[in-house]
């Protein structure tokens, strides 16, 4: 979620926290003023140096661990958002997993005992001082890296020293978790979208890379899993053997073992040969295959780091899975669609785009779709309801996915004209769903509207149509969505849609 989208779902208090995170120069603004201040200063708010300064602080070690784990809980969410309860439970689970591992007698059996002893001695000395500065923490992690040990091992040793996540191996309470959640809001890192369904806390897209840098992470858990999916069973076994870990089992078991080993993505890829990395690059859409081994590793990690990952229930229907990636289907974003296993090949994009839009109208907006006969017809049709339109009037839509902004070519004008003129029912509105539209598309919008008198011609970005559906869904309304929101001639921008939703809903 972008900053601009997040602040639309926030009330005055959480907005004020974000404003205060980067300036004290403004008097207490109202909601709209706060949004305007944030938008005008978004570059300052999302500046990497500012975020690094906020996240690096000198304080009790337990507070530093708590903040790090809180941020990791967000990183490990596919969309970097969660309710307060979900994020507290995720943080607690991260802490408990470390304590469980530390309690197991064989948790460090594959590590070098001498290196573990060095780390244990240095950590023990550092913990004698309750206050560990951020610089000292970085020095400890540098030592960990020089010993060839992982963050997972670092935390297990801390727990064995009775100091994870704090003295006495006591889990942080929900109240303590909420405290750090509030601190991250005041720091302008976490946004509380309290007007959205479920009132989620979100780390916006523009801030994520800086958070990852501050944590020293290369990939979030979901993206790491996708990278491991791209490796062969043989390569996973080779990785585990290098770490002297068991290398038998299914691919799923091998992946889980690599993740729990604490190996970083760059270390795993570094085990592969240059030729294996070349083949992996060639299998990833848009990733160049030339260059040194180090360059290929950086490109592969960058590819998975930049993937858009979203939370989709295992029980979700095919239509709902497509709907979650509606904007990506509209702009034919092969990288994200293939990596997240939304499509298997390019030919699936059109089908997925159509299925996602049908799910939106039917399941999110609660509208009944009309059955269409034959093969020459638009992608969907809905009958208007209510008093504003005659009982027979319909809204037709057609999906057009493009990698660049939609220009409304002449062939589409002729195609849509046939659909409108061949319809048995009067077409009140013909809607074209696209990734984005060039302003020049308006020329043919007006031309088609003139050729088909009595029919409005509208073009809408898939992302904006999805926003309309989510806004309607979040209201929990069990009534029928009013299609008049979409019934006009022109390009339906977000501000225009907001205005029409206020007018007709």
The fraction of the chain above a pLDDT of 90, given in percent, is: 57
- Give the model confidence (pLDDT) of 101-115 as tens digits: 999 888 888 888 999
pLDDT at 479 > cutoff 80 = no
> What was the pLDDT predicted at 405?
94
Q: What is the pLDDT of residues 483-499, one digit of tens each?
A: 999 999 999 998 899 89
Vertex 262 angle, CA 256 and 265, to 5°: 85
The pLDDT, as a whole number, for residue 150 is 84
pLDDT tens-digit map of 31-42: 999 999 999 999
Q: Which residue has the higher pLDDT, 477 or 395?
A: 395
With cut-offs at 50, 70 and 90, classify the pLDDT of residue 502: confident
Angle between helix axes 12-22 and 31-40 (nearest 10 degrees) is 30
pLDDT at 505 over 80: no
Average pLDDT estimate for 149-164: 90
Higher pLDDT, 374 or 145: 145
Q: Which residue has the higher pLDDT, 487 or 243?
A: 487
Determine the average pLDDT of the residues in 88-93.
91
Query: What is the predicted pLDDT for the residue at 106?
Result: 81
449-470 pLDDT per residue, tens: 999 999 999 999 999 999 999 8
Mean pLDDT, residues 77-97 taken together = 89
**Confidence class for position 402, pLDDT limits 50, 70, 90:** very high
Other C-beta atoms within 10 Å of 456: how many?
18
Q: What contacts 116, CB < 8 A, 6 or more positions away?
A: 108, 149, 153, 157
Q: What is the pLDDT of residue 110?
A: 81
* Residue 385 scores a pLDDT above 80: no
Give the per-residue pLDDT at 449.
96
Query: Could you tell me which residue, 129 or 21, shows the higher pLDDT?
Result: 21
Output the pLDDT for position 215. Answer: 85
Amino acid 314: pLDDT: 78
User: For residue 403, is the peptide bond before it cis, meaning its omega torsion is within 30 degrees of 0?
Assistant: no
Greatest mean pLDDT range, 143-147, 299-303, 345-349, 415-419: 415-419
Higher pLDDT, 207 or 478: 207
pLDDT band for position 64 (cuts 50, 70, 90): confident
Q: Which residues pair with 81 in a beta bridge?
A: 202
Mean pLDDT of the chain: 89
Q: Using pLDDT thresholds of 50, 70 and 90, give the confidence band for residue 126.
A: confident
Distance of alpha carbon 245 from alpha carbon 301, whole angstroms: 23
Looking at residue 245, what is its pLDDT? Answer: 84
Q: Which 3 state secondary structure label does DSSP give 311?
A: coil
Pairing status of strand 191-192 against strand 201-202: antiparallel
Look at residues 222, 224, 250 and name the one whose alpha carbon lies nearest to residue 237: 250
Structural domains in the chain plus CATH codes: 3-204 (no CATH), 221-305 (no CATH), 369-504 (3.40.91.30)
Q: What is the pLDDT of residue 1?
A: 83
Strand partners, 361: none
Residue pLDDT, tens place only, 246-260: 888 899 999 988 888
* 182-208 mean pLDDT: 91
**Helices in 360-427 by DSSP H: which ranges?**
410-422
In three-state form (DSSP H/G/I as H, E/B as E, the rest C), the secondary structure along 277-296 is HHHHHHHCCCCCCCCCHHHH
CA separation for the pair 454, 59 (Å, rounded): 68
How many percent of the chain have pLDDT more than 70? 97
Q: What is the pTM of this model?
A: 0.73
HEC assignment per residue over 209-266: HHHHHHHCCCCCHHHHHHHHHHCCHHHHHHHHHHCCCCCCCCHHHHHHHHHHHCCCHH
């Amino acid at each position: 979620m972008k900053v601009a989208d997040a602040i639309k779902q926030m009330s005055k208090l959480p907005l004020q926290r974000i404003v205060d995170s980067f300036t004290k120069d403004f008097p207490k603004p109202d909601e709209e003023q706060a949004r305007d201040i944030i938008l005008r200063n978004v570059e300052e708010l999302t500046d990497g140096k500012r975020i690094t300064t906020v996240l690096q602080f000198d304080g009790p070690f337990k507070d530093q661990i708590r903040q790090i784990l809180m941020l990791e809980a967000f990183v490990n969410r596919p969309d970097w958002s969660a309710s307060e309860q979900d994020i507290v439970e995720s943080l607690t689970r991260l802490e408990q997993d470390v304590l469980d591992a530390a309690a197991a007698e064989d948790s460090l059996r594959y590590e070098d005992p001498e290196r573990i002893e060095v780390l244990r001695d240095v950590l023990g000395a550092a913990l004698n001082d309750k206050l560990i500065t951020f610089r000292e923490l970085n020095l400890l992690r540098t030592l960990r890296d020089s010993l060839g040990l992982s963050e997972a091992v670092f935390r297990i040793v801390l727990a064995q020293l009775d100091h994870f996540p704090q003295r006495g191996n006591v889990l942080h309470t929900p109240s303590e978790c909420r405290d750090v959640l509030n601190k991250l809001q005041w720091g302008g890192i976490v946004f509380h979208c309290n007007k959205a369904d479920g009132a989620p806390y979100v780390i916006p897209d523009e801030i994520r890379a800086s958070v990852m840098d501050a944590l020293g992470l290369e990939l979030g858990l979901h993206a790491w899993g996708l990278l491991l999916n791209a490796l062969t069973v043989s390569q996973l076994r080779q990785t585990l053997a290098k770490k002297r870990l068991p290398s038998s089992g299914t691919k799923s078991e091998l992946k889980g073992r690599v993740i729990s080993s604490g190996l970083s993505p760059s270390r795993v890829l570094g085990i592969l040969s240059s030729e294996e990395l070349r083949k992996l690059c060639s299998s990833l859409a848009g990733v160049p295959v030339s260059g040194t081994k180090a360059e290929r590793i950086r490109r592969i990690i960058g590819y998975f780091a930049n993937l858009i990952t979203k939370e989709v229930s295992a029980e979700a229907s095919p239509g709902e899975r497509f709907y979650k990636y509606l904007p990506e289907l509209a702009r034919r974003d092969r990288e994200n669609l293939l990596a997240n296993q939304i499509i298997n090949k390019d030919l699936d994009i059109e089908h997925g785009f159509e299925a996602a839009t049908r799910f939106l109208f039917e399941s999110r907006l609660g509208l009944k779709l009309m059955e269409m006969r034959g093969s020459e017809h638009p992608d969907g049709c809905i009958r208007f309801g209510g008093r504003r339109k005659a009982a027979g009037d319909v809204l037709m839509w057609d999906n057009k996915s493009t990698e660049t902004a939609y220009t409304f070519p002449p062939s589409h004008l002729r195609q849509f004209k046939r659909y409108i003129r061949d319809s048995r029912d009067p077409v009140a509105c013909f809607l074209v769903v696209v990734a984005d539209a060039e302003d020049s598309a308006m020329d043919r919008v007006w031309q088609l509207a003139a050729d088909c008198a009595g029919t409005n011609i509208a073009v809408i970005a898939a992302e904006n149509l999805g926003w309309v559906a989510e806004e309607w869904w979040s209201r929990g309304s069990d009534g029928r969505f009013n299609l008049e929101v979409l019934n006009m001639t022109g390009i339906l921008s977000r501000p225009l849609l907001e205005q029409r939703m206020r007018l007709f809903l």
